[in-house]
Structure 1
Amino acid sequence: MLQLDGRSLRIADVLAVADHRMPVGLAADARARMEATRRVVQAAVDHGAPVYGVNTGFGKLSEVTIATPQLAALQRNLVRSHAAGVGDALPEREVRAMMLLRANVLATGYAGARASVVERLLDMLNAGVWAVVPEQGSVGASGDLAPLAHLALALIGEGPARLGDREGPSAELLQVVGLEPVVLEAKEGLALINGTQAHTAVASLAAAELTSLWRVAHVATAMSLEALLGTPDAFDVRIQNARGQIGQAESAALLRTLLMPSEIRESHRHGDPRVQDAYALRCVPQVHGPALDTLRFARGIIDRELNAATDNPLVLDTGELLSGGNFHGQAVGMVSDFLAIICANLAVISERRTDRLVHPDFNQGLPPFLAASPGLESGHMMTQVSAAALASECKALAHPHSVDSIPTDGNKEDVVPMAMGAATRLRRSVRNLRHVLAIELICAAEGLEHRRPLRSSDAVEQAHALVRQHVARSDGDRPPGPDITRLANAIASGAFDDLTSSVVI
């Protein structure tokens, strides 16, 4: 069981809970911190002086003081009124990640919520009950108010939820698993909705998959290089040392590992009139390397945000309540844009390699469009077109979302980061890249068939065998869409990860 302490959650933990249903509990030290700061909130209630989020209205209405008998209604109304999301529901894995992250933030103790609130949230998570959360409606300013409010609605038994394939009122589904809805007390509605956990949940899962896709991009490169009779000379360690970029050097080292030794390479080492390959082959370390550097930076930001106290005001065990802006989502919103740029760059260079594999003027004697009977058959002509469409969309999705701002809440929230939009667009970019790489692997595997009986390196041959587990060799035209989907699903499941496990990200 994963024990939440508000301090040590990592992306790998989010994956374990979101995808593999690892059970989660509340650590004893986190419980003690929560109990201490809850006493501070109760003292503020007893004292009666205006404290934002405890006995005042919210945002532009923060000047309105609320009487003590209405404090529970204040928190309930906050959750109800802020559940303004629209659009498609977030997938289960993202909602589970969001539930985990929100519980972890409450476990920091800075929100001043009761430990029982976290425990009920974790009970839902462990029982498989998850809120129906629309993905649109958050600007990431005072946190992801709308998505988190939909999550809180399910917690208090008022919103829709799901249990397996069943959808219904959360109160009914909670009853099915033997749980009671939470009755909110002072500040707890605000504690549940004020923070960055919706867009951070989406971004953390996308960053995890992009890490895997960065590895797969090297496997695809190695297979394409061999199919195109390219040279690994551009990956020489001396070239990388001359520049000194860390990611570039590690990318080149991974390619050298994947490509050595190879009968295909030895077959054209001498007598090949080409002095150097096209950029899509020769400059892979110079493109994939900066992607690695940026990916590491972005994952560091996200890892820190998983354990960030993002409520307002923050409740300190000294008895103080401090108002600030930790709910602002610029940090993860900005790196979500960075990660979308990585997707675009990896997709563009992959599509260019695919084009060289099918283009009869550039594919080093492979059949036009890799067709068995060119002319009678179109082969992978349209497969490359699909890659082009996906890569083009990745370019559009890479336009930064976090530079936008539309003031909200009566201009009280006058600079907002649009972080949720950045995160959901990143998710789509990652999916596009997964399919672009699947297309390259399919075409590269087909190209290798035409170099037989020569064999490539052990790693490339293993990759070829993995492709063939999901996509049969072409023996005539057939719809390529199902092949692409099957291989993309295999990529998403981590089928190629073992080939590049030497790289630590």
Structure 2
Amino acid sequence: LTIEKVIRIVRQKYPVEITNDFNVHKKMADSCEYIRKVVDESQPLYGVTTLFGGMAHRQISCSQASELQNNLVYFHKTGAGAYVPLEDARAAMLLRANSHLIGVSGIRMEITDRLIKCIKEQITPLIPEFGSVGASGDLVPLTYIVGSICGTNKSFKVNFRGQKMDATDALEQMDLKRLYLQPKEGLAMINGTSMMTASATIAVYDLYILFAATLHAHALAIQALHGNNQPFHPFLHEMKPHHGQKLIASTILNLLSDSKMINDHLDGTHNMRQNVLIQDRYSIRAMPQYLGPFIEGLHEIARAVEVEINSANDNPLIDVENQRAYAGANFFGEYISTAMDRLRYIVGLISKHLDVQIAQTVASEFSNGLPDCLISNPQREVNMGVKGLQLCANSIMPYLLFFGNSIADRYSTHAEQYNQNINSMGHVSANLARHSVSTMKQLISVALLIFVQGVDLRSKLIGNTYDARNLLSTNTVRTYESIREIVKVPISDDKPYIWNDDEQALDEHITLIADNLTDENSSLFKAIQMTAKYLLNDRHQ
């Protein structure tokens, strides 16, 4: 599985089927047979013939081995807080099934098949966001999945095709019988990183989309500011050939190609203009060097997440070929925890850069001729332009910087009878990443609205029309058009996006743009899609 495939299945509802590969099925069956042998012979094996965690010194009789697994579901049903998004829950189900198919977990194909059937039939467990410390995997969140798909009792709730109901009722409607767990199967279901990895997968994918949207926003800002394209010339970046730096430079250069709103100095020339700096301020000029490390960091995060997606991450794991079981800690979520800490840090710094670009655009001292707050109708003396939009951006940026603080180092050292004396906080970190990325959409929405107003006003200065389409670069015209279409403010020769303050509800516009950024059916998503695909594919370089 790749990040993109997970998104297609859980967000776009692409069909998913379990492989018919004989070897996969045989390996799973053989791992179950190994567990049966352990139980029948009363061999000591963690979590199969012993209790769990800090009570693993207590062995149980073979007659209680199944009861042990079914009881696991009851005492871990301790989640709290709001439910995670349904797409996160579906992704966790998919990743749990993918992990089982490796064939080292000692779980029946019947359980794995039930996971996939529930995804296909839109039976989605409702999973509280609090309860996992990410050490012995996501024990509490994954309990809600196994309890729901097995129909353990009516206290497990699901969303069944848009309706909240008891899991048992949803299964009954689909003629799916109650499933009882056999030895090891409870551990195989809940002792893993699938919940944190699911949320991480979606956060990573959405950040790639938002990174692309950010680059489009900067390309609009550069044109609004009548910026210089020389800082993006390949010569500069070959002299300092960091991969991310070169990628950002080439992407911005491509987005600005054929623009009539920029200072085009790719030929290496320089010119002086009255009261204008000979070179742009750092938020434009140093963009490749600033953003380059962040796209490289996102690539590294994505690769770590994809390893986790395709891993066996419960405990113990069974080496069928050599008839051995190995106890370890593949359930430990530090890769996800530190990756999501880093992702949130990256979000904060990308957002601070956008906030700076907004500040430069709305201040006449720095905007190369644009009016204060991008006010367009001076005849209405009370107009304040985009001042309120900037304030909104100013309120979001510190919030995102705060979210950039780490959580991986804030774990308790006494969890679960001191057995989990180190833990990852992976699920918490991934939850925070989801909130961070979602909030970033609001900031990008504000920035895009401000920069659209900026290019309208620049178009008036250059071409005596508020219709910027003939002056904008080909690769940003579609972004500009889609924003105007979404907010339902027609492009006009006579008026920019904002003419008078009382003619639009800007908060509604913010919401509309934010909602469309990651909606793959929207014109705005399609406008940035090629850039997003380019960034996503670059992680394989």
Match of 1:488 in 2: 514
Question: Partner amino acid for 2:456?
Answer: E
One-letter amino acid of the counterpart of residue 135, structure 2: A
Over 3 Å counting, the alpha-carbon distance change for 1:71 and 1:243 in structure 2 is same
Q: What secondary structure is seen at the aligned counterpart in 1 of 2:164?
A: strand
Are 1:250 and 2:281 an aligned pair?
Answer: no
Match of 2:436 among 429, 446, 449: 429
| CA distance, structure 2, for counterparts of residue 218 and residue 296 of structure 1 | 16
2:442 partner letter: H
| Alignment pair present for 1:122 and 2:129 | no
Shift of 1:68: 2.2
Separation in structure 2 between the aligned mates of residue 271 and residue 265 of structure 1, nearest angstrom: 15
Deviates more, 1:208-217 or 1:299-308: 208-217
Tell me whether 1:88 sits opposite 2:82 in the alignment.
Answer: yes
Deviations 1:140-182 (A, max 9, x none): 0000111011111112212111102211210111111221232
Correspondent of 2:32 among 27, 38, 47: 38
2:277 aligned partner, one-letter code: R
2:44 — aligned with what?
Answer: 50
- Pair 1:457-2:473 in alignment: yes
Q: Residue 397 of structure 1 aligns to which amino acid in structure 2?
A: F
Segments of 4+ in structure 1 off by > 4 A? 266-271
Query: What secondary structure sits across from 1:450 in the alignment?
Result: helix
Equivalent-residue separation in structure 2 for 1:463 and 1:89 (angstroms): 34
Query: How many residue pairs get matched?
Result: 497
How many Å apart are 1:498 and its aligned residue? Answer: 3.3
For each residue in 1:36-94, what CA deviation from the matched residue of structure 2 results, as whole angstroms up to 9, or x when unmatched?
Answer: 11110111011112211112110011111122222222111111111211000011100
CA contact (8 A) 1:240 1:248 kept: yes
2:420 aligns to what SS in structure 1? coil
Q: Is the 8 A contact 1:248 1:288 kept in 2?
A: yes
User: Retained in 2: the 8 A contact 1:55–1:66?
Assistant: yes
- Does 1:474 pair with 2:498? yes
How many Å separate the matches in 2 of 1:151 and 1:308? Answer: 19
SS of residue paired to 2:498? coil
Matching residue within 228, 235, 250 for 2:232? 235
Moved more, 461-470 or 141-150: 461-470
Contact 2:479 2:528 in 1 (8 A): no
Deviation at 1:456, TM superposition (A): 2.2
Does structure 2 conserve the Cα–Cα contact (< 8 Å) formed by 1:110 and 1:311? no
Letter in 2 for 1:496: A
Within the candidate set 315, 338, 341, 2:345 is matched to 341
CA distance, structure 1, for counterparts of residue 516 and residue 387 of structure 2: 23
Return closer, same or farther for 1:46/1:502 CA change in 2, 3 Å cut-off. Answer: closer
On the 8 A contact 1:26/1:119 being kept in 2, the answer is yes
Query: Which residue does the alignment assign to 1:3?
Result: none
Change (3 A) 1:487 1:296: same
The CA deviation string for residues 278-319 of structure 1, in whole angstroms up to 9 with x for no partner, is 222111111221111101111100001001111111111022
Match of 2:291 in 1: 288
- Residue aligning to 1:224: 221
Name the aligned partner's letter for residue 70 of structure 1.
Answer: Q
Check conservation: 1:216, 1:496, Cα contact below 8 A: no
Give, as a single letter, the amino acid of the residue that structure 2 aligns with 1:327: F
**1:297 is aligned to 2:300:** yes
Corresponding residue for residue 307 of structure 1: 310
Where structure 1 has 5 or more consecutive residues not aligned to the other structure, the ranges are 1-8
Distance 2:81 2:68 in 1: 27
- How big is each residue's C-alpha offset from its partner over 1:165-203, in whole Å with a ceiling of 9 and x where there is no partner? 211210111111221232111111111000111110000
Q: For the Cα contact (< 8 Å) 1:214–1:288, is it kept in 2?
A: no
| Distance in 1 between residues matched to 2:109 and 2:341, nearest whole Å | 35
RMSD of aligned C-alpha atoms? 1.6
What is the deviation of 1:271? 4.3
Q: What is the CA-CA distance between 1:499 and the residue it aligns to?
A: 4.6
**Are the equivalent residues in 1 in contact too, given 2:230–2:264 (CA < 8 A)?**
no
| Aligned-residue offset at 1:270 | 4.5
Question: Map of 1:96-115 to 2, 5 A cutoff?
Answer: 96-115=90-109
SS at structure 2 position matched to 1:171: helix
Q: Aligned to 1:26, what secondary structure does the other structure show?
A: coil
Distance (Å, rounded) in 1 between the aligned partners of 2:71 and 2:237:
59
SS at match of 2:262: helix
Match of 2:407 among 391, 401, 418: 401
The answer to whether the 8 Å contact 2:48/2:65 transfers is: yes
For normalisation by structure 1, the TM-score amounts to 0.95
Structure 1 residues 502 and 411: CA distance shift in structure 2, 3 A: closer
Unaligned segments of structure 2, at least 5 residues: 464-469, 490-496, 520-524
Letter of the structure 2 residue corresponding to residue 166 of structure 1? Q
What letter matches 1:475 in structure 2?
A: W
Deviates more, 1:419-428 or 1:468-477: 468-477
Which residue of structure 2 lines up, in the alignment, with residue 23 of structure 1?
15
Structure 2: distance between partners of 1:314 and 1:14: 24
Cα distance between partner residues in 2 of 1:308 and 1:276: 50
The percentage of aligned residue pairs carrying the same residue is 27
- Letter of the 1:470 counterpart: I
In structure 2, relative to structure 1, the CA distance for the partners of 1:266 and 1:333 (3 Å cut) is closer
C-alpha contact 2:411 2:425 (8 A) present in aligned 1: yes
Tell me how far 1:266 sits from its aligned partner. Answer: 5.0
